[in-house]
């Protein structure tokens, strides 16, 4: 497969750039430790006042009203699995489709706080049917939703058949509540590691190059991945086989992976209503990865990039450093 080329330092300026340098993360695992900064972040815009709260709420709605009954999941009958597939297809189409319609088709926010000046690609041979959005939708629905539903079936079956212990709210409410942010941290570390792995040249060429065809991104780009990348991306949820947890935690983790993946590629920094910011959407952190490739592999929540020297803070100095690293013989662009 032909490799996508990273943007040169002379690439068109961002249509919108937040204040730089961006901060390297909330302070988890940093040295010297900054527990107060980390806690403040967690209780504020980092977690409690972010879309993560929506993902937790939606997990409760799914569990109590939308998901198949756990007792049905002990059998391998197709009924409850198809129920789950229909639910996940509907959720993805409503969320990614709704955001695409709002921001890109109807342009309700114009180009206000849109990172890229480029439109989503049309008549471009590198995409299926020469259309970036159709290509992204196909990969998301035909591979992403099917594989993610399969993993959910496996986990629900393990709980229903007693293979995995079920954690009840009443047994330990503190642990039950703490698991939500803990799973968030786990997924952040897992994503950093599998993303580094996906930039290993053979894996990049075989799988990850598909995601990196998307330079300007839209909501459907978030899960536009090769099936192998989908499996690696969703594999963080297998932790439910080894820790004591509840399907609500699993639905939350999938919401974070799926809806969070879609949100982080909307292409807009935030949702504005009447000129006022309502909520943060796509972080600049991952936009920089799509433009320069060998930086910002994680999400900034855990300090992997900081420790490995791959953190790009958005400044021209960081761009020069990252581009210099790309020109080294072993790291010749993009990996
Ligand atoms: Zn991406
Ligand atoms: Zn990448």
Per-position DSSP letters for 128-170, written without gaps between them: GGGBHHHHHHHIIIIIIIHHHHHHHHHHHHHHHTTSSPBPPTT
In this predicted structure, the answer to whether residue 142 has a pLDDT above a threshold of 70 is yes
To the nearest whole number, what is the mean pLDDT of the chain? 90
Ligand that comes closest to the CA of residue 200: 2
Question: What pLDDT was estimated at residue 325?
Answer: 85
Name which of 96, 88, 236 is nearest 153 in CA terms: 88
In this predicted structure, the answer to whether residue 11 has a pLDDT above a threshold of 70 is no
The SS3 of residue 228 is: helix
Question: What pLDDT was estimated at residue 27?
Answer: 66
Ligand that comes closest to the CA of residue 283: 1
At 12, the pLDDT band (50, 70, 90 cuts) reads: low
Percent pLDDT > 90 in the chain is 72
In this predicted structure, the answer to whether residue 335 has a pLDDT above a threshold of 50 is no
Percent pLDDT > 70 in the chain is 93
Tell me how far the alpha carbon of residue 140 lies from the centroid of ligand 1, in angstroms: 13
In this predicted structure, the answer to whether residue 259 has a pLDDT above a threshold of 70 is yes
In this predicted structure, the answer to whether residue 26 has a pLDDT above a threshold of 80 is no
At 48, the pLDDT band (50, 70, 90 cuts) reads: confident
Question: What pLDDT was estimated at residue 29?
Answer: 64
Residues in the chain: 335
Tell me how far the alpha carbon of residue 297 lies from the centroid of ligand 2, in angstroms: 6
Beta strands in the chain (DSSP E): 270-273, 276-280
Handedness of CA 303, 305, 307, 313 (dihedral sign): negative
Question: What pLDDT was estimated at residue 2?
Answer: 42
Q: Dump pLDDT digits (tens) for 71-112.
A: 999 998 999 999 999 999 999 999 999 999 999 999 999 899
Tell me how far the alpha carbon of residue 296 lies from the centroid of ligand 2, in angstroms: 9
Q: Dump pLDDT digits (tens) for 113-133.
A: 999 888 899 999 999 999 999
**Higher per-residue confidence, 35 vs 145:** 145
Q: Dump pLDDT digits (tens) for 173-212.
A: 999 999 999 999 999 999 999 999 999 999 999 999 999 9
Tell me how far the alpha carbon of residue 211 lies from the centroid of ligand 2, in angstroms: 7
Tell me how far the alpha carbon of residue 290 lies from the centroid of ligand 1, in angstroms: 6
In this predicted structure, the answer to whether residue 144 has a pLDDT above a threshold of 70 is yes
- Distance CA(161)–CA(273), nearest Å, equals 47
Tell me how far the alpha carbon of residue 268 lies from the centroid of ligand 2, in angstroms: 19
Give the tokens for residue 73.
């999941």
- Distance CA(292)–CA(284), nearest Å, equals 12
User: Helices in 199-267 by DSSP H: which ranges?
Assistant: 201-203, 209-212, 227-234, 247-263
Tell me how far the alpha carbon of residue 199 lies from the centroid of ligand 2, in angstroms: 6
Task: Give me the half-sphere count of Cα atoms (radius 13 Å) on the Cβ side of residue 274.
Answer: 0
Tell me how far the alpha carbon of residue 81 lies from the centroid of ligand 2, in angstroms: 32
Average pLDDT over residues 37-42: 83
In this predicted structure, the answer to whether residue 8 has a pLDDT above a threshold of 50 is no
């Amino acid at each position: 497969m032909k490799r996508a080329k990273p943007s040169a330092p002379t690439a068109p300026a961002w249509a919108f750039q937040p204040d730089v340098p961006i901060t390297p993360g909330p302070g988890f695992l940093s040295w010297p430790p900054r527990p107060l900064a980390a806690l403040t972040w967690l209780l504020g815009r980092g977690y409690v006042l972010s879309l993560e709260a929506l993902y937790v709420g939606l997990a409760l709605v799914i569990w109590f009203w939308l998901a198949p009954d756990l007792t049905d999941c002990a059998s391998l009958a197709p009924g409850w699995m198809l129920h789950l597939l229909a639910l996940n297809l509907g959720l993805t189409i409503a969320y990614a489709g709704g955001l695409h319609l709002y921001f890109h088709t109807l342009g309700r926010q114009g180009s206000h706080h849109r990172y890229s000046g480029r439109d989503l690609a049309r008549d471009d041979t590198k995409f299926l049917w020469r259309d970036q959005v159709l290509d992204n939708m196909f990969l998301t629905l035909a591979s992403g939703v099917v594989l993610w539903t399969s993993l959910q079936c496996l986990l629900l079956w393990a709980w229903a058949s007693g293979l995995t212990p079920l954690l009840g709210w009443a047994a330990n409410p503190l642990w039950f509540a703490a698991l939500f942010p803990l799973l968030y941290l786990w997924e952040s570390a897992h994503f950093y590691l599998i993303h580094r792995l996906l930039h290993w040249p053979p894996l990049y060429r075989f799988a990850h190059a598909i995601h990196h065809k998307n330079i300007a991104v839209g909501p459907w780009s978030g899960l536009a991945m090769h099936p192998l990348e989908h499996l690696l991306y969703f594999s963080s949820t297998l932790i439910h086989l080894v820790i004591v947890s509840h399907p609500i935690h699993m639905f939350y983790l999938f919401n974070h992976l799926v809806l969070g993946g879609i949100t982080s590629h909307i292409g807009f920094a935030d949702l504005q209503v009447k000129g006022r910011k309502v909520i943060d959407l796509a972080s600049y952190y991952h936009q920089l990865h799509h433009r320069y490739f060998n930086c910002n592999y994680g999400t900034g929540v855990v300090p992997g990039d900081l420790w490995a020297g791959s953190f790009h803070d958005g400044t021209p100095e960081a761009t020069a450093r990252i581009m210099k690293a790309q020109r080294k013989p072993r790291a010749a662009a993009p990996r």
